[in-house]
Structure 1
Amino acid sequence: MNISAEHKFDNEDRVILVKRTLPNSDPEREENLFKELRELARAAGYVPVGELTQTRYPDSRYQLGRGKIEELAELVRSTGAEKVIFYNKLSTTQLFNISEICGCQVIDKFQLILEIFAKRATTHRSKLQVELARLKYEVPRARAIVSLLKKEERAGFMGLGDYEDSYEHDLKKRIARIESELESAKKDDESLRAFRHMKGFSLISLAGYTNAGKSTLFNAIVNESVEVKDMLFTTLVPMTRALDLGGRKALLTDTVGFIEDLPHWLVDAFKSTLEEIFLSDLILLVVDASEKPETILQKLSTSHDTLWDRIQGVPVITVLNKTDLLDKSELDSIMEQIGYMAPNPAFVSAKEGIGMTALKAEIIRHLPAWSFCPLSLPNSEKGMSLLSWLYEEGIVHRVEYGERILVDYEARTEIINRAQALLEPRED
C-alpha cells in the first residue's frame, strides 16, 4: 500500500489490518467484515498503512500460518507501523507469539472496540462500563498472561505493567466493586423510568446496527443537533429528549449501536445502557436501506439476536433509513427479501427529513393504548386546577364550560382512574 507523502501522521497512528477467513466462506461477506474493521480502526483514530488476509483454518500458535506471520512482520518493518489489528479473536498465546515476531503491539477487534469505547466514554458510568468490559476480557486470560510474563520477563506485554501472582484475584475484586456501583446506578434508572411513566411519558428507544443513521434520525425527529459522524460508535452515552406526538408525551433515547459477534462480556458490561432499550414501551430498529439485502439481513439478524430474548413482547418498528437513495422498484425488491425480518416497516430519509410525519403516526399506533373518557369537573377553582393537571397528563380533546366543565379526555388508565377518584364526592 502506497502512503502519500502529503499525509503526515505520527508513527503511533499507523496500523496493519489483518483478517483470516475460512475456506469456502462468502467473499462478499468477508469483504464487508474487513470494511467494518477499517471503519473501526478509523473510529479509533488509526491510519491503516497495510492490509493482510489469508484463507485457512486457524493456527493455534499464530492464527495465520507461520510464513504469513513472517510476511506480516516484514510489512510492519517496511511501513513503520506501531500496531497490528486482527479482525479475528486472538488467544493470549497468539497475541504473545505474533507480537514477538512482529516486534510491535498486537490487538484483536474486541480490544479495538474497547479502545473506541474508552475514548468515547464521557460520563462516570460509561467509564465504569468500559473498565468492567476490559476486566472481564482479561479474567479468562489472567493466568496465561502471568505465566507468559514470568517466562519471558515481558512486564510490558499487553500493557499490564508489573505482574503478581494475585493478578487474577485483583481483577475479580475490581469487577465486583464496579458491578456493585453499576447496580446502584441501575436502581436509580429504574426509579427515574417509573417516575417518567407516572408523569405520563411513553419511553421509546432508537436501536440498530452501528452507523445505520440512528443519531441523524434522532436529530430529525426531535429537532435536535446531536453530533453526527460517518463513524462507528458515535453514540456511547444514551441521550434522551422529549418527542412531540400530537399531545401524547414521549421520551426518545438514542442508544449505542450493535455490531456483529460482540462477546457476552462486552454486552454484559453495557447491560445497564442496553436496559434503556429492553425496558422501553416501543423500539425503533433503524437499518440502512441503501445497503445490499444480504447485508441488511445480516445486520437485522445481529440486532434481533441482541434484542429478542430481552424485550418481552415490546413492539418494534423497523425504520428503513436512507430511502432517498433508492427508487420504488428497488425498495420493493429489498422488502421482498427482508420483509420477514422487518416487522412494522417505516420508510424515511433522516438526512432529508422525509417520512417523519408517517413515522410519528406509526409510533402513536404502536404505543401502549390510552383510554378515552368523558369527565365532568366542578366549575370552580378546584375544577380549573384539575383541568390544568389533565392537560399535563394526557390529551384534552374538547372542553365545554357551563355549570360544570365537561371534558373529553384521553390518557393512560391509571391517570383516568386518579382523575375519577378526585371527582368522587367525599363522605363527611
Structure 2
Amino acid sequence: MRNDTAVLVKRVDSGEDASLDEIRDLARAAGYDIVGEVTQSRQQDSAYEIGRGKVGELRALVERVDASKVVFDNELGPYQVYNLGNEIGVEVDDRFTLILEIFGDRAGSRKAQLQVELAELKYELPRADAKANLANRDERPGFMGLGEYDEKRKSDMEDRISRIRDELGSLSERDEAWRRERRRSGFELVALAGYTNAGKSTLMRSLADVDEASNHPDIDDTAESRNELFTTLGTTTRRMDVPGRNVLLSDTVGFISDLPHWLVQSFESTLDEVYLADLVLLVVDASDPVEEMREKLVTCHDTLWERVEAPVVTVLNKADLLDEDELAKRVEAVRYLAPDPVVVSAVEGDSLDELVGRVKDELPDWERETVELPMSDDGMSTVSWLYDTAEVLDVEYGERIRVEFKARDEIIAKARNRSPLETETVAAR
C-alpha cells in the first residue's frame, strides 16, 4: 500500500447527501492520508463535474496542503479527468478507479487477480477511444494518469477480456465440482454476505474452527479481522461447528453502495459462493445510523434476492456498541426489511449459540434413513463413513449391521448403494 496524500471531492445534486464517509474509508483503505475535503451541491458540469469556480478552490487547496492526488466520489469521464488534471496539476481518480486500486492490492488468489483485471478492463474499454484522442493531444504519454493508448489498445483489451472470461469459466467449473464433492461428502455450505466492514470476517473467526481450513485451491485461510473495507477479497472457507451437521462457512468480498453493474459482474464467480449456498447469513452493522442500515439492507436485498434461492437469515452484528434500549429501537426500525434477525456481537461472542441454532434450523431438512450392511470390513467402513458425514441415530450389530441415521440426499444415495438390502426413508430434521 502507498502512503500518499489525497484531497477528497464530492458533487451532489441539490438535496442529496453530501457525506464523504464512504469515500473517506475507501481512500484510507487504499493507504491515502486525507489532507483535505471539498463538497459542492449543484448540477453536474460536463467539463469538470464540479463548477469552474470550485475547481479554482480545489487547485488552491491542493497546493496549500501539497496533496499528491485528488479523488472524486463521483464517476468521472476521461475528458473530465483530463480537464481536471490540467487545471489542478495532480493525478485525479474517481471512486471506481480507487476501488479497483484496492482490489488490485488485495487480490491474492489467481481467481481474484483475474476478476480484478477483468473489472479494470471493463472500466477502461468504453474510455479507450477518448483516452487515445486525449493522449494524442499531449506530448507526454500517460499525462495525469491517462495511460499510453494507441490504435491497437482497444482490440487488445477486447482480446484480453475474452481470454480472462474463458479462464474464469474454467475456474468456475472447478469450483462447482468442488461444491458438488463437498455435498457428496456430507457438507452443507453457509455463506456470509453483507456490506463491507459489517464484521463478517470477525464473525467467521468467532464461528469457525480456525484449525479446520478447507482445501479449496483459491481459498485464503487468513480471514483477517480489521476495521477496514475489503479485508476479504477472495473466498475464505472454514469448518463451522453445528451440532449434527457438517457445515462449511464461506466469507467473500463485501457489498458497497453505488457499484456499477460491470463491476459486480466481474466478481460474479466469487459471488457464486453466496448465490449457490444452502443458507446465507446477511450480516449488518447494527451500530450504523438507522437510515444507513436501511439503505444497506436494500442494497443487499437487491443483490441477493434475484439470484439466491436458499434461506437468508439477517444477522445484526456489533451489538456490543449499543445499549439495550437503542438496540431494540434499531431492530424495530428495520423489522420490515429484517423480520426475524439474530442480534449478536462477534467481538464479545454474545448470542453466537443462538445464531448456530438458527443455522441448524434453517438448513435444508435431512431425511431419516435405515440401511442394513454386511458384517464385514466394508460394512464397518460404511458405518465409520456415516459417522463422519451424517447424524447416526442408532447402530445394531448382529448377523448384519443395521444403521439408522439422518443425512442429505447425496449421502443417502451413497449409503443405499453400499447396502444390498431394502432401505427405508422418512423425512426428519
Is TM more than 0.5 here? yes
Question: In the alignment, is the contact (CA less than 8 A) between 1:316 and 1:344 conserved in 2?
Answer: no
What is the CA distance between 1:84 and its match in structure 2?
A: 0.2
Does 2:111 align with 1:111? no
Of the structure 1 ranges 72-81 and 369-378, higher mean CA displacement relative to structure 2 is found in: 369-378
1:179-207 deviation per Cα after TM superposition (whole angstroms, max 9, x unaligned): 11111111111111111111111011111
The one-letter amino acid of 2:16's match is S
| Aligned residue number for residue 79 of structure 2 | 93
| Aligned residue number for residue 361 of structure 1 | 357
Q: What SS class does the counterpart of residue 392 from structure 1 fall into? A: helix
| Aligned residue number for residue 315 of structure 2 | 319
4+ long deviations beyond 4 Å: none
Does 2:163 align with 1:163? no
Alpha-carbon distance in structure 2 between the residues aligned to 1:368 and 1:284: 14
Question: In the alignment, is the contact (CA less than 8 A) between 1:317 and 1:343 conserved in 2?
Answer: no
Q: What SS class does the counterpart of residue 134 from structure 1 fall into? A: helix
| Aligned residue number for residue 187 of structure 1 | 173
> How many residues are aligned here?
411
Residues 174-323 of structure 1 aligned to structure 2 (within 5 Å): 174-224=160-210, 226-311=223-308, 313-323=309-319
The one-letter amino acid of 1:329's match is D
| Aligned residue number for residue 66 of structure 1 | 52
Question: In the alignment, is the contact (CA less than 8 A) between 2:198 and 2:283 conserved in 1?
Answer: yes
| Aligned residue number for residue 402 of structure 2 | 406
Alpha-carbon distance in structure 2 between the residues aligned to 1:359 and 1:178: 39
Alpha-carbon distance in structure 1 between the residues aligned to 2:82 and 2:146: 13
Q: What SS class does the counterpart of residue 62 from structure 1 fall into? A: coil
Question: In the alignment, is the contact (CA less than 8 A) between 2:135 and 2:146 conserved in 1?
Answer: no
Alpha-carbon distance in structure 2 between the residues aligned to 1:226 and 1:268: 24
| Aligned residue number for residue 6 of structure 1 | none
Q: What SS class does the counterpart of residue 316 from structure 2 fall into? A: strand
Alpha-carbon distance in structure 2 between the residues aligned to 1:216 and 1:274: 19
Q: What SS class does the counterpart of residue 334 from structure 1 fall into? A: helix
1:103-143 deviation per Cα after TM superposition (whole angstroms, max 9, x unaligned): 01000000000110011111222111111111110111111
Q: State the Cα RMSD in Å.
A: 1.8
Of the structure 1 ranges 200-209 and 169-178, higher mean CA displacement relative to structure 2 is found in: 169-178
Among residues 418, 422, 425, which one is paired with 1:422 in the alignment?
Answer: 418
What is the CA distance between 1:345 and its match in structure 2?
A: 1.2
The one-letter amino acid of 2:103's match is F
Q: What SS class does the counterpart of residue 339 from structure 1 fall into? A: coil
The one-letter amino acid of 2:4's match is D
1:267-322 deviation per Cα after TM superposition (whole angstroms, max 9, x unaligned): 111111111111111111100111221110111111112212111x2110101101
Question: In the alignment, is the contact (CA less than 8 A) between 1:82 and 1:104 conserved in 2?
Answer: yes
| Aligned residue number for residue 387 of structure 2 | 391
Shift in CA distance, 179/413, structure 1 to aligned 2, threshold 3 Å: closer
| TM-score w.r.t. length of structure 1 | 0.92
**Normalized per residue, which structure has more helix?**
1
| Aligned residue number for residue 349 of structure 1 | 345
Question: In the alignment, is the contact (CA less than 8 A) between 2:135 and 2:149 conserved in 1?
Answer: yes
1:324-371 deviation per Cα after TM superposition (whole angstroms, max 9, x unaligned): 222333222212221121154111100011111111110111111101
Question: In the alignment, is the contact (CA less than 8 A) between 1:17 and 1:38 conserved in 2?
Answer: yes
| Aligned residue number for residue 324 of structure 2 | 328
What is the CA distance between 1:403 and its match in structure 2?
A: 4.3
The one-letter amino acid of 1:25's match is E
Question: In the alignment, is the contact (CA less than 8 A) between 2:373 and 2:420 conserved in 1?
Answer: no
| TM-score w.r.t. length of structure 2 | 0.92
What is the CA distance between 1:154 and its match in structure 2?
A: 4.0
Shift in CA distance, 161/334, structure 1 to aligned 2, threshold 3 Å: closer
| Aligned residue number for residue 7 of structure 1 | none
Question: In the alignment, is the contact (CA less than 8 A) between 1:316 and 1:343 conserved in 2?
Answer: no
Alpha-carbon distance in structure 2 between the residues aligned to 1:398 and 1:203: 26
Alpha-carbon distance in structure 1 between the residues aligned to 2:242 and 2:47: 58
Q: What SS class does the counterpart of residue 46 from structure 2 fall into? A: coil
1:203-232 deviation per Cα after TM superposition (whole angstroms, max 9, x unaligned): 111110000000000000014363211111
Q: What SS class does the counterpart of residue 282 from structure 2 fall into? A: strand
Gap runs ≥5 in structure 2 = 211-221, 423-429
